[in-house]
Structure 1
């Protein structure tokens, strides 16, 4: 028997080695992350360790607000200091569901605020699309700004584009 092992346990005449090694958990990294990035495909080339070299970072792909909501409900993201959310929308959704997008973004921000009351939550507004009028994007972003302005610990990140 090695010095680090514990004495064997006998059970029905069989010898069973007892160890105190914790079982691996997929949730362990999340509890250590001080920054959580929830990004759509626009974040695929982001290198989290370069953005936050001195902090534990967990980056997750989230193609839409529904996926973010699922993560807040079903995953253990720990207690990060900061959550950065940039979720996706499709061009088709912007044309046909613009009111639904603002509502979905508000619900996502509200869920984040409730689930992580001590975290700083940064929610990215929509980026411009070449084939969507700026007025549509601006209207959705204004609705999001208005509806999220009273949420505690939620901060909007608005992207300006020079034309």
Structure 2
């Protein structure tokens, strides 16, 4: 099991990226493409963790309540190991990640779209969107994701 903090993009942002990736999926059918319903921006990663140890990450997440909601944009792509990800513009995701998970300085918030090899480059620039909450998510191999907690972020109208 692993634990991470995530921002979930709104449906229109997911649909826009999904449409932009159609030709890339056709050109690279051997990659294992992540279901768009599972897409999220990973802002912090705690790694493998025992269920009894999840109290500390939950407390760190609670400390983000009231933090300003970042305006984000999905842009470009990159890869590590055999993971293809879409990048995230905006300084706030990195700050959220460090605050919520104490991640290393070279951490890059990202949205994983595929696994395998060879990995293509994706030239994509999406629309802006505001992340209104950050979630603490548990990942179990073969069982998917479980959102353990959600903390609202403050939008300018609040």
TM-score, length of structure 2 as denominator length? 0.24
TM-score, length of structure 1 as denominator length? 0.23
- Larger strand proportion, structure 1 or 2? 2
- Larger helix proportion, structure 1 or 2? 1
